[in-house]
């Protein structure tokens, strides 16, 4: 593990006013890179994410989702509508390098903590906002939630097959992608500040993140108005790629096939019928027929049998793993993706497992064992360090 002093954002102070998932994850990513993150929450109840459980898992009064996305943070409780607490927050903002907030557009401004107001007292501040759909336009006031953003973006019409209804991605994709873009924007703004001394504002939305994710489809439509999304058979895995691109049932699981030449694939698999598709154009126009042939052929033998044949010829393929198979696989273990985080409780240490930051610096993985804070856990320490010292 790298020491705190070796991490690239060491010495950077982040005030995290956000809740739920996208904002807290963005702040978490900065913390993984060495930033000091102070989470600002309401005294009563705190971040609503403390009660938003995935998998129904709750530990020490908080959901697993909260524990994992708020690891390695300090907790400061403040009522942003209370005059005394607002004075404390104003003092903290004078010392901060970064602010992250994901209230609906206009809320922080009404509270007196919008970018224009904060930057007057701290011109070098990097102020990051995450919204559902930006601050202007007909969607601006709609609820910024992952499933809703996925749906408005059209993504569910890309996912699934021609026989399926719209099929959203089964994880909080918009939130997760937005958190990455936010952290990316903040680090770029910090680099600019290092060079020029200039602070700035970073704005990210769930919707823009989802649109960027679909750059292939949107680019095609912008250049050719006749483009339509035509989802393929149940085996097809991409609306814009021809056969054999997809996932196919075997006798004991599923096999993923990426790009490849159909006649050569037929020869490797012992499926002579594929040799008829010599023209690459047919891999698109006859996609349903080709995938049906492959499906019928592969289902009679196990995934391992087909992998042995395909890997020997360097064909792009992979088994489709279940969650249980993934976490038990030597490949997962060799990546050292799991890390333990610890929160002290009256009954003893609470240990939880989660994923680490998905990058390495100088060949070293980024891990930190500090668990998520309780509401206001570090108020006294933070007030003494940043607030009271200036008035005593």
Measure the CA–CA gap between 248 and 354, rounded to whole angstroms: 31
Q: Where are the domains of the chain?
A: 4-213+334-390, 254-319
Compute how many other C-beta atoms are within 10 angstroms of the C-beta atom of residue 1: 12
97-101, 114-118, 157-161, 282-286: which range is least confident on average? 157-161
- What is the average pLDDT value for the chain, to the nearest integer? 95
pLDDT tens, residue by residue, 55-94: 789 999 999 999 999 999 999 999 999 999 999 999 999 9
Whether the CB-CB separation of 360 and 26 falls below 8 Å is answered with no
pLDDT tens, residue by residue, 260-295: 999 999 999 999 999 999 999 999 999 999 999 999
Q: Which whole number is the average pLDDT over 195-218? A: 97
Tokens 């050292």 sit at which residue?
336
Q: Which whole number is the average pLDDT over 122-142? A: 96
Q: How large is the greatest C-alpha to C-alpha distance in the chain, in angstroms? A: 86
Give the confidence band of 238 by pLDDT, cuts at 50, 70, 90.
confident
**pLDDT at residue 390, as a whole number:** 54
Instruction: Enumerate the active-site residues.
Output: 175
3-state secondary structure the chain: CCCHHHCCCCCCEEEECCCCCHHHHHHHHHHHCCCEEEEEECCCCCCHHHHCCCCCCEECCEEHHHHHHCCCEEEEECCCCCHHHHHHHHHHHHHCCEEEECCCCCHHHHHCCCHHHHHHHCCCCEEEEEECCCCCCCCCCCCCCHHHHHHHHCHHHCCCCCCCCCCCCCCCHHHHHHHHHHHHHHHHHHHHHHHHCCCEEEEEEHHHHHHHHCHHHHHHHHHCCCCCCCCCCCCECCCCCCCCCEEEECCCCEEEECCCCHHHHHHHHCCHHHHHCCCCCHHHHCHHHHHHHHHHHHCCCCHHHHHHHHHHCCCCEEECCCHHHHHHCHHHHHCCCEEEEEEEECCEEEEEEEECCCCEECCEECCCCECCCCCCCCHHHHHHHHHHHHCC
**pLDDT at residue 236, as a whole number:** 87
Contacts 24+ apart (CB under 8 A), 59-62: 59/350, 59/352, 60/343, 60/345, 60/350, 62/372
Q: Which whole number is the average pLDDT over 193-220? A: 96
**pLDDT at residue 173, as a whole number:** 97
**pLDDT at residue 158, as a whole number:** 86
CATH fold of 4-213+334-390? Rossmann fold (3.40.50)
Q: Residues 333, 338, 344, CA angle at the centre, nearest 5°?
A: 145
**pLDDT at residue 233, as a whole number:** 81
pLDDT tens, residue by residue, 289-346: 999 999 999 999 999 999 999 999 999 999 999 999 999 999 999 999 999 999 999 9
Whether the CB-CB separation of 160 and 143 falls below 8 Å is answered with no
Measure the CA–CA gap between 248 and 307, rounded to whole angstroms: 12
Percent of the residues in the chain that have a pLDDT greater than 90, as a whole number? 89
**pLDDT at residue 55, as a whole number:** 75
Q: Which whole number is the average pLDDT over 240-267? A: 96
Percent of the residues in the chain that have a pLDDT greater than 70, as a whole number? 99
**pLDDT at residue 392, as a whole number:** 44
Buried b (16+ CB within 10 A) or exposed e, 149-159: bbbbbebbbbb
Per-residue pLDDT at 349 exceeds 60: yes
Per-residue pLDDT at 106 exceeds 60: yes
């Amino acid at each position: 593990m790298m020491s705190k002093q070796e991490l690239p954002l060491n010495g950077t102070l982040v005030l995290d006013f956000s809740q739920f998932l996208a904002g807290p994850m963005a702040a978490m990513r900065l913390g993984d890179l060495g930033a000091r993150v102070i989470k600002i929450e309401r005294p009563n109840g705190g971040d609503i994410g403390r009660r938003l459980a995935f998998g129904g898992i709750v530990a020490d009064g908080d959901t697993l989702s909260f524990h994992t996305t708020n690891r390695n943070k300090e907790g400061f409780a403040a009522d942003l509508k209370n005059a005394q607490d607002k004075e404390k927050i104003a003092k903290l903002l004078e010392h901060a390098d970064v602010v992250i907030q994901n209230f609906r557009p206009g809320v922080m401004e009404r509270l007196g903590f919008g970018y224009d107001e904060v930057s007057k007292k701290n011109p070098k501040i990097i102020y990051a906002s995450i919204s559902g759909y930006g601050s202007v336009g007909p969607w601006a006031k709609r609820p910024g939630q992952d499933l809703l953003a996925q749906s408005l973006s059209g993504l569910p019409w890309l996912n699934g097959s021609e026989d399926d209804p719209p099929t959203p991605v089964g994880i909080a994709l918009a939130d997760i992608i937005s958190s990455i873009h936010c952290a990316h924007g903040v680090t770029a703004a910090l680099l600019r500040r290092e060079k020029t001394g200039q602070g700035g504002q970073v704005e990210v939305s769930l919707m823009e993140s989802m649109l960027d994710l679909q750059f292939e489809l949107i680019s095609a439509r912008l250049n050719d108005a006749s483009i339509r999304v035509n989802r393929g058979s149940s085996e097809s895995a991409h609306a814009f790629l021809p056969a054999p691109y997809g996932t196919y049932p075997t006798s004991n699981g599923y096999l993923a096939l990426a790009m490849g030449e159909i006649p050569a694939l037929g020869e490797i698999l012992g499926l002579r019928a594929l040799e008829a598709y010599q023209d690459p154009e047919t891999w698109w126009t006859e996609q349903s027929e080709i995938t049906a042939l492959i499906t019928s052929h592969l289902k009679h033998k196990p995934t391992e049998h087909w992998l042995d044949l395909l890997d020997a010829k360097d064909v792009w393929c992979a088994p489709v793993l279940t969650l249980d198979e993934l976490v038990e696989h030597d490949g997962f273990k060799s990546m050292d993706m799991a890390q333990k985080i610890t929160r002290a409780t009256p009954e003893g240490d609470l240990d939880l497992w989660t994923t680490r930051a998905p990058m390495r610096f100088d060949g070293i993985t980024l891990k930190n064992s500090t668990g998520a804070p309780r509401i206001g856990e570090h108020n006294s320490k933070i007030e003494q360090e940043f607030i009271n010292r200036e008035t005593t």
